[in-house]
Amino acid sequence: MHWSIQPAFERDRRGPEDTLPHAVHVDLLELLKLEFKATGFSLLPRQPVHSLLAGRRASRLRGRGLNFEEIRRYLPGDDVRNMDWRVTARTGKPHVRAYSEERDRPCLLIVDQRQSMFFGSRRVMKSVAAAEVAALAAWRVFHTGDRVGAIVFNDTDIVAVPPLRSRQRVMDILGTIRTFNHALKPAGQVDRSNPAMLQQALDQALRLAKHDYLVCLISDGAGYDAACKDKVAQLLAHNDVLAALIYDPLEAALPDVSRRLVMSTAAAQLEVDLADHRLRQGFAADFQARLTSITEAARQRSIPLLPIATDEDVATQIRRLLGAALRQTSSRATSRRSIK
């Protein structure tokens, strides 16, 4: 059973700087404004950043393009303009230079808006942070000229928005996220929590992302079990996967204070004493075990994992986590110029 802490717990400790007007439910205007913050990071950490900024990636398709691939024997139908005359003269047999083409890199966002995401002790709810991550990613992909789509889900429903290269498609995605987000209600006003919906969302992703997609999973990881790991492995067979793990600092460590805390599910509530040292240790150990399991699964599959906290500006966190690739690439380029 997944217990969550009622967001009202920390409300009396917040200052004006710790909260936002859209802290509980997303504001569509705020998601639109994130278009201007979707800079300074790449969604493909393993690729050179500048290739993503151009909105393309190297493919295995052969033909005329920007990147040299190999020198090989001439085959009927090859473009004679690609003939490598030096190799042809040296070997006595015709050879051509083959290049890597560029092609579209569609992105599919899987956005978690389940009841487990409706929690936050600082700045915003996890559900709002997930919406912000999705908005930043959608705007980034749109501005690189690639297609973007989404799968948005809660405890009962899933909506799939097929990838398309247009501003209206980004608006459709953000509007769908807003609808799901505003349907979230406080504990006691919901019917049930359904961790298994994560697996169903991944099934939907398998139907949409057939080949050469970038799949971005944005969730708190609730319900990530062996079946979900198998689904992710299937996605990885023909696509790249990037995961944003949304968490709240209060989930990682309960405060050491002499007060009582109300924890809840959709069907029940539990009041605990924060002065109990063993309880705090057990709570922290439970979160750490879940984090370790997800981190290890990501490491084994070479999936970039981005831990996103609710208490800090999301765009700043993404730039720090993914923008490092840009700094490293620039540093290597500077070093090569120095050597030359």
| pLDDT score recorded for residue 64 | 40
Which has the higher per-residue pLDDT, 152 or 211? 152
pLDDT in tens, 152-205: 999 999 999 999 999 999 999 999 999 999 999 876 565 567 888 999 999 999
| Cβ neighbours of 32 (radius 10 Å) | 14
| pLDDT score recorded for residue 41 | 84
| pLDDT score recorded for residue 110 | 98
| pLDDT score recorded for residue 188 | 57
Q: Specify the CATH class of 4-51+104-336 in words.
A: alpha beta
| pLDDT score recorded for residue 50 | 36
| CATH 3.40.50.410 domain residues, the chain | 4-51+104-336
Band (103; pLDDT cuts 50, 70, 90): low
HEC assignment per residue over the chain: CCCEECHHHHHHHCCHHHECCCCCCCCHHHHHHHHHHCCCCCCCCCCCHHHHHCCCEEEEEEECCCEEEEEEECCCCCCHHHECHHHHHHHCCCEEEEEEEEECCCEEEEEECCHHHCCCCCECCHHHHHHHHHHHHHHHHHHCCCCEEEEEECCCCEEEEEEECCHHHHHHHHHHHHHHHHCCCCCCCCCCCCCCHHHHHHHHHHHHCCCCCEEEEEECCCCCCHHHHHHHHHHHCCCEEEEEEEECHHHHCCCCCCCEEEEECCCCEEEEECCCHHHHHHHHHHHHHHHHHHHHHHHHCCCCEEEEECCCCHHHHHHHHHCHHHHHHHHHHHHHHHHC
- Tokens for 202? 């991944």
| pLDDT score recorded for residue 144 | 87
| pLDDT score recorded for residue 280 | 65
The mean per-residue pLDDT over the stretch 72-82 comes to 82
Band (236; pLDDT cuts 50, 70, 90): very high
| Highest mean pLDDT (candidates 76-90, 226-240, 289-303) | 226-240
pLDDT at 301 over 80: yes
